Structure 1
């Protein structure tokens, strides 16, 4: 199961075009699988401004490094997804993809019919049977921020997962904001680090 390449392709597929027409069942899709999952043109445009997988790593690296300096924590070189050899990068990628899928479900809009179309788009992007089974399981899971956060085994992974979630939620939506806050709590993100991650994302969007 190779998630890193799949995730990179998934992120880079969100570069324009309308998402879907009013009849979801016809599958009239131009925005890609993640666009289907997000279900809103606004979210897809927002996501496209941030860049691919490496951009998530760069932002997490900067925020975590600045956090270490601010809090006088023992300074260690942050090991983010953009700075790791393939096996570790694959682990980070899986956690990031899990966070993206969960966050996109936070407003409760993905029903069985939509899920089937999304799974079809996932199959179009990649034909790895093991990966497809994993994606299907993630789509079908009840939303549980505590379960999602279990993948955040290091501060760097937790930071990347929170960034990925921020990229797709509507912070003005009560349900999605509540999910995001609970995810941060379950990831055990320090308040300073959480704020720095949010600023990094805002600055990246402003530069785009």
Structure 2
């Protein structure tokens, strides 16, 4: 399956020229800083950081998954979608902050797993599948992905060039029950769990009770400490500058 090919294009849809937008986190810079913490690591971010709100909400697979045509407001809520371009970096930063606040100690990198941007080959492909699954489930969390929306979303995803196996897998994700425990079991490391949560936090509208409930269920399924879950959500807002 070509999961990372699809994910990188989705990240690209959610990225744009934040460097000149005044505010928010420079995701590219964070990727570069993170690379120095891992031996042999290089910056391989799937996007350029930031977000072009108009292009995001105007269409494309990400725009449809975010349910823009159901009336979500632009501004802060839209800006946070730029965090998709640096999901691994932001999840790792949240972990570092959480550890520093909880114990005042430097985190032990060796037991956590690497961020998405530092993985390569089959390991990155597997993590990409986990993140894509989280994105699709979060998009379905409000229960409003009807047959017409699914057809439109499938059409947009097809434009990204999924191979046959990937196409079948994506359709399976739309048919599968919304099961936070099943999603949590796909996580291959603590870092993967944090990335699954943070991408879900990006996708949901926290003002929607059903979507907020999904995020809370996921935090429990992933066995995230409440303080860590809050820090992960905070990183999404920091990245958006809101």
SS of alignment partner, residue 141 of structure 2:
coil
Calculate the TM-score normalised by the size of structure 2.
0.73
The 1:140–1:61 alpha-carbon spacing in structure 2 relative to 1, beyond 3 Å, is same
- Give unmatched runs, 5+ long, in structure 2: 15-51
**d(CA) in 2 for partners of 1:43, 1:64:** 30
Query: Of the candidates 15, 20, 33, which is equivalent to residue 61 of structure 2?
Result: 33
Please tell me whether the aligned partners of residues 59 and 200 of structure 1 are also in contact (alpha carbons under 8 angstroms): yes
**d(CA) in 2 for partners of 1:154, 1:97:** 16
In the alignment, is residue 188 of structure 1 matched against residue 223 of structure 2?
Answer: yes
1:23-172 aligned within 5 A: 30-40=58-68, 42=72, 45-52=78-85, 55-72=86-103, 75-77=108-110, 78=112, 79-172=114-207
Please tell me whether the aligned partners of residues 170 and 177 of structure 1 are also in contact (alpha carbons under 8 angstroms): yes
Q: 4+ runs of 1 displaced by more than 4 Å?
A: none
CA-CA distance at 1:99 after TM superposition: 0.5
**d(CA) in 2 for partners of 1:46, 1:185:** 27
CA-CA distance at 1:108 after TM superposition: 0.6
Please tell me whether the aligned partners of residues 10 and 33 of structure 1 are also in contact (alpha carbons under 8 angstroms): yes
What's the C-alpha RMSD, in Å, of the aligned pairs? 2.2
Provide, for residues 46-97 of structure 1, a one-character-per-residue CA deviation record: whole Å limited to 9, x for no partner: 4543251xx1111011111233334447622551111222221211111111
- Give unmatched runs, 5+ long, in structure 1: 20-29
Please tell me whether the aligned partners of residues 12 and 48 of structure 1 are also in contact (alpha carbons under 8 angstroms): no
Calculate the TM-score normalised by the size of structure 1.
0.84
SS of alignment partner, residue 36 of structure 1:
helix
